[in-house]
Amino acid sequence: MRHTDVAVIGAGVLGCFAARALSALNLHITVLEQREDVCTGVTRANTGIIYSGYDNHPGSLKARLCARANASFDRLCEELDIRFSRCGSLMVAFGPHAEAVLEQKLENGLASGVAGLRIVEGDELFALEPNLSHAATRGLFAPGTGVVNPWELGIAAYENAAANGVEFRFCERLLRMERSEGGFLLETEQEVYRAKIVINCAGLSADAVREMLCLPTVRIFPTGADYLVLDDTVQGFFQHVIFHEPEEKGKGLTLVPTVDGNLLVGPTERGRDLAPDGATAASGLRWLTELCAKVAPSLPLSEQIRSFSALRPNPRTVREEGGVWVPEDRSINDFTLYQDNGLISLLGIKTPGLTCAAELGRLCAEFTAETLGFPGNNPRFHPNRRGVRRLHGMDEAQRAALVREDPNYGDILCVCRDVSRGEILEAIRRGAVTLDGVKRRTGAGMGRCQGARCLSDVLELLARAQRIPPEAVTLDGEGSPVLGAKYGTC
Ligand SMILES: Cc1cc2nc3c(=O)[nH]c(=O)nc-3n(C[C@H](O)[C@H](O)[C@H](O)COP(=O)(O)OP(=O)(O)OC[C@H]3O[C@@H](n4cnc5c(N)ncnc54)[C@H](O)[C@@H]3O)c2cc1C
């Protein structure tokens, strides 16, 4: 049996930031993750926006955390050495109904202290975004909105937490949990753990994990989402994140100029049944294309290089009816955090969960210190972490210096994204065990050819590093063989 002070379940962005915040305390912390790597769940596929906070009901936990998180995001990204573009956003209306929504959001934002919010129209609107359809009537400009690469954020928190002494245990699925004297017993396929506190960050399974000990109160009812990705040849088409507020009831379009220079289009909101998990729905992609024609008619959709899908962890209050737990009609709009005598559950944390991950992590550390009594500071704690050095964006002198230091940086494997062998080896050294793990750390395979040219090299490096046959290397964990054989990572 292994002993730990705090067990964190799940290594998505929330689990990684909970671990990072806890690592400032003088405690032994263990993170149990069922998959082979971090950020493979909800964190894998989202929009990457750092929200300013005008969307949330003033005074709500979401509004308070979002305003705080946004204000401190530059510092967080400096500490973790990740790219952050505070590009601002425009929420655009095409008629009176949507204009009224913009006014309401402006009021919300002002009440929550969101800085710089204002309504723009006419020449000013189109000077900000010349490629926006000229049928747009008004916009809500939020200069504080930003964008990150969500993988970079979660992976940076993981590496920093691990460097501060947190123990990450991959391929360990929590199967059972029970209360025992002074805490909890947790059983995975490999081990039994005794922990004083459990932080449940299990994403889509956070309700199931909480129900190992408690009766249901909130359950997660996932819905699907689809995205399109346009190549970085469209870089500069939009300068800001564009939120389209529809005139009719329903969801609008979001267009995101990413930190990698390409344009993300989406997400849709659709039933999970419209496509198998992991697949996009044709109807969703069609809907995106149709809305693009309305919001940005000159957007060159021919530059599309990829589509992907996501799952939303929608929380809903449930009640028992004839032995079955059924959802209440109204959905929950705020973050749902439960504290059940030492079990802290972050349940169904949707947008802006990425924005608020560090703040939610801080809350988990505060709850822990309140419950256990302040354990003192971790003398090893350091908030800073250095990212994988990227050739892309370096000037000639910097590149030459790096290649002199390590010739692997002179061998470009991913031509589309300018990623060298050195970067890929460094990503593997830091924990990438799948092709997607390398992609999430370096960008290799994310360009126009989608890995057609670098796949075999990356696969060979992964196989060599893990001393496994190339056939055993997977795209993204168990059930995703690349060379056709039936191997798994966990
Ligand atoms: C479509 C979409 C768009 C979004 N866009 C934005 C945005 O633009 N900005 C923003 O701020 N937020 C956004 N969000 C919200 C944000 O992505 C989420 O709040 C966040 O990623 C949730 O992270 P998580 O750690 O809770 O979940 P996950 O990333 O799913 O992590 C949970 C982890 O728990 C593990 N796990 C589960 N069960 C067990 C078990 N029994 N044992 C061990 N491990 C287990 C899983 O393998 C997984 O790795 C978006 C969300 C969606 C769905």
**133 domain residue, yes or no:** yes
- State whether 140 and 228 are in the same domain: yes
Domain of 230: which CATH number? 3.30.9.10
Report the distance separating Cα 93 and Cα 318, nearest Å: 35
Write down the number of H helices and E strands in the chain.
13, 24
If you take atom 2 of ligand 1, which residue's CA is the nearest one?
46
For residue 342, give the nearest of 161, 219, 215, 214 by alpha carbon: 214
- Alpha-carbon span 310 to 466, nearest angstrom: 29
Residue 26 is which amino acid? N
In a domain, 440, yes or no: yes
Decide if 339 is inside a domain: yes
425, β-bridge pairs: none
User: What contacts 461, CB < 8 A, 6 or more positions away?
Assistant: 421, 424, 425, 428
The alpha carbon of 468 and the centre of ligand 1 are apart by a number of angstroms equal to: 30
Domain closes at, from 312, 338, 353 = 312
136 with 238, same domain?
Answer: yes
**Are both 234 and 301 inside the same structural domain?**
yes
Q: Residue 332 and residue 317: Cα distance in Å, rounded?
A: 7
Select from 254, 226, 229, 234 the least CA-distant residue to 92. 254
Task: Give me ligand 1 centre to Cα 351, in Å.
Answer: 10
In single-letter form, the type of residue at position 165 comes to G
In this structure, the answer to whether residues 228 and 290 fall within a common structural domain is yes
Which ligand 1 atom is at minimum distance from the Cα of 10?
A: 34
Secondary structure of residue 274 in the 3-state scheme: helix
What's the domain range around 456?
A: 396-472
Tell me, yes or no, whether 128 lies in a domain. yes
Alpha helices in 383-454 (DSSP H): 396-405, 421-429, 435-442
97 Cα to the center of ligand 1, angstroms: 33
User: What CATH number does the domain containing 356 carry?
Assistant: 3.50.50.60
| Ligand 1 atom closest to Cα of residue 44 | 29
CATH label of the domain that carries residue 446: 1.10.10.1100
Pair (142, 187) in one structural domain: no
* pLDDT of the residue at 485: 56
Please tell me whether residues 228 and 307 are part of one structural domain. yes
CB distance 355 to ligand 1 below 6 Å: yes
The residue contributing the CA closest to ligand 1 atom 41 is 174
Co-location of 175 and 229 in the same domain: no
Output the residue whose Cα is nearest ligand 1's atom 3: 46
Taking CA atoms only, the protein residue closest to ligand 1 atom 31 is 12
Q: How far is the CA of 129 from the centre of ligand 1 (A)?
A: 32
Span from the CA of 224 to the centroid of ligand 1 (angstroms): 13
Tell me whether residue 247 is exposed, middle or buried, using C-beta atoms within 10 angstroms of its C-beta: 0 to 12, 13 to 18, 19 or more: middle
Are residue 352 and residue 415 in the same domain, yes or no? no
Q: Give how many domains the chain has, as a whole number.
A: 3
Radius of gyration in angstroms for the set of CA atoms belonging to the chain, rounded to a whole number: 23
Please give the number of the atom of ligand 1 that sits closest to the Cα of 48: 8
Residue of 351, 356, 489 best suited for mutating to test ligand 1, as the one with most atoms within 8 Å of CB: 351
CB neighbourhood size of 486 (10 A): 9
3 state SS of 16? helix
Query: Does 156 lie in the same domain as 139?
Result: no
Give the three-class secondary structure for 483: coil
Whether 251 lines ligand 1, by a CB cut-off of 6 Å, is: no
Q: In whole angstroms, what is the distance from residue 296 CA to residue 255 CA? A: 10
| Residue 488, in any domain of the structure | no
Half-sphere exposure of 221 (CA within 13 A, CB side): 17
DSSP sequence for 48-85: -EE--STTSPTTSHHHHHHHHHHHTHHHHHHHHT--EE
For residue 312, the CA-to-ligand 1 centroid distance in Å is 8
SS3 content of the chain, % helix, strand, coil (to 5): 35, 25, 40
Instruction: Based on the fold, state whether residues 254 and 268 are members of the same structural domain.
Output: yes
Q: What is d(CA 199, CA 342) in angstroms, rounded to the nearest whole number? A: 8
In a domain, 391, yes or no: no
The pairing of strands 192-200 and 183-188 is antiparallel
Structural domain includes residue 11 = yes
* 71 in any annotated domain: no
Q: Are 329 and 300 contained in the same domain?
A: no
Q: Does residue 10 have its Cβ closer than 6 Å to ligand 1?
A: yes
- For the chain, residues with pLDDT lower than 70 are 485-490
Tens-place pLDDT, residues 431-485: 999 999 999 999 999 999 999 999 999 999 999 999 999 999 999 999 899 987 5
Cα–ligand 1 centroid distance for 12 (angstroms) = 6
What is the whole-number distance in angstroms between the Cα of residue 8 and the centre of ligand 1?
14
Question: Residue 12 corresponds to which tokens in the numbers above?
Answer: 């998505």
Please tell me whether residue 173 adopts helix, strand or coil conformation.
coil
